[in-house]
Amino acid sequence: MQVVTSVGERRNTKEMEVENVFHMNKGVDHTSYAKNSLMQRTVTSKAGPIIEESAKKVYNTLRPECLMMAEMGCSSGPNALQVVSRIIDVIEETSQSINRQCPQFGVFLNDLLGNDFNTMFNLLPNFNKDLQEAKGSSCGPCFVSGIPKSFYGRVFPDKFLHFVHSSYSVHWLSQVPRGLVSENGEALNKGNIYIAKTSPPEVYNTYCAQFESDFMLFLRSRSTEMVCGGGMVVVLNGSINSDDSDSILELLGSTLQDMVLEGVIEQEKLDKFNMPFFTPTVEEVRKLVEAEGSFALNKLETFTVDWSVDTSQNLETRAKFVAKTVRAIVEPFLTTAFNHAVIDDLFLLFETRVKERIARKTGEFFTIVLSVTKKE
């Protein structure tokens, strides 16, 4: 069955399923995303100067009375509102430096339907209180709302947004690429859950094609929603080489394979399971921004963050941290295929594999920061 969306693109119902089931671990307990997203906070903080520079440029160019900004893929937990605070700070400083009244702010926290928006909204009273205490009447009121909709497609009206930020979200695909399991049920990526050393080349090609079509749709949708002169910063998990297979998901896949050998998981389930994820190279991102054509490229930079963020800790602490970080992200999607009952054991074994791996060789998240301006 096909569904025609607001931008007219045809999407099938299987694709909608990922949209409806995908989310990070909810709540605020010890496995939640809210409590296990220091790695993502570190990434956004490193990209902070580029985010601030872009927001400042937008304000100086457009001087809106109410600055409309979208935080796309906000998840639940403190990260999204921290970056929003940072943007408000820089706009307030800039408006003061030119003796203008600080604008009002419309902040739109966007994520998929399954996101734990309640946990996010529970942080708003403190966010508003801190803003009021820090800025008083010098800063225009800030109106925050949640927008549950996939960013692969239209989310806002035409020419509505002045600033868009998205961090560690657009490497998640709109769907698991269709070609990974053939029409007659034959699995292409046996024993893996993402591109891995044992994956045939078609696996990379299939993933890459899905990313290209999703990222193009993301750019086209934002292009229509943003005003000319508006700014967008997208921070995403990337790769150094296009078919780089030495990723944390390769390690998680091989841990699942170990559990197959222990008889805990069925081989067929693992063979047919793949993550809706793709880490592009800088060149792949540049090519797509240029091909889409409606954004001027300001910056395209990269940096790395250690899987464990803090390499001064001992191996046990670091491995535990990495396993908790990964679990908070992938547990809900893993349980669409594997029984809940295996998850604790899976992540205990994964922690051991991470420890062995980082004792041998550093593991790093390669990050791409893209800063663009909507052309006239």
What angle (nearest 5°) sits at the alpha carbon of residue 160, between those of residues 156 and 48? 90
- Does residue 150 interact with ligand SAM by CB under 6 A? yes
Based on CB atoms, which residue is closest to ligand SAM, 32 or 167?
A: 167
Nearest Cα neighbor of 149 from 114, 105, 124, 106 is 114
Residue 173 CA: distances (Å) to CA of 125, 211, 275, 284: 33, 6, 9, 15
- Does residue 79 interact with ligand SAM by CB under 6 A? yes
Minimum Å distance from CB 117 to ligand SAM? 10
Binder of ligand SAM out of 80, 87, 226, 236 (CB under 6 A):
80
Minimum Å distance from CB 59 to ligand SAM? 22
Q: What is the largest CA-CA distance in the chain?
A: 69
Binding range to ligand SAM, per CB under 6 A, among 165-173, 184-192, 198-206, 342-350: 165-173
Burial of 25 (0-12, 13-18, 19+ CB in 10 A): buried
Binder of ligand SAM out of 32, 95, 119, 167 (CB under 6 A):
167
Near ligand SAM in 296-315, by CB under 6 A: none
Minimum Å distance from CB 222 to ligand SAM? 12
- Does residue 225 interact with ligand SAM by CB under 6 A? no
Minimum Å distance from CB 10 to ligand SAM? 17
Binding range to ligand SAM, per CB under 6 A, among 105-113, 299-307, 310-318, 319-327: 105-113
Using CA atoms, how far apart are residues 116 and 103, in angstroms rounded to an integer?
29
- Does residue 37 interact with ligand SAM by CB under 6 A? yes
- Does residue 24 interact with ligand SAM by CB under 6 A? yes
Q: What residues contact 12, with CB distance under 8 A and at least 6 apart? A: 1, 2, 3
Based on CB atoms, which residue is closest to ligand SAM, 109 or 346?
A: 109
Near ligand SAM in 57-76, by CB under 6 A: 73-75
Helices (H) and strands (E) in the chain, counts: 12, 9
Q: What is the DSSP letter of 163?
A: E
- Does residue 369 interact with ligand SAM by CB under 6 A? no
Binding range to ligand SAM, per CB under 6 A, among 99-107, 164-172, 247-255, 289-297: 164-172
- Does residue 169 interact with ligand SAM by CB under 6 A? yes
- Does residue 44 interact with ligand SAM by CB under 6 A? yes
Q: What is the DSSP letter of 174?
A: S
25 and 349 in contact (C-beta within 8 Å)? no
The pairing of beta strand 66-72 with beta strand 142-148: unpaired
The pairing of beta strand 142-148 with beta strand 104-111: parallel
167 and 79 in contact (C-beta within 8 Å)? yes
Residue numbers at the binding site for ligand SAM (CB under 6 A) = 22-24, 37, 40, 44, 73-75, 79-80, 110-112, 115, 150-152, 167-169, 172, 174, 329
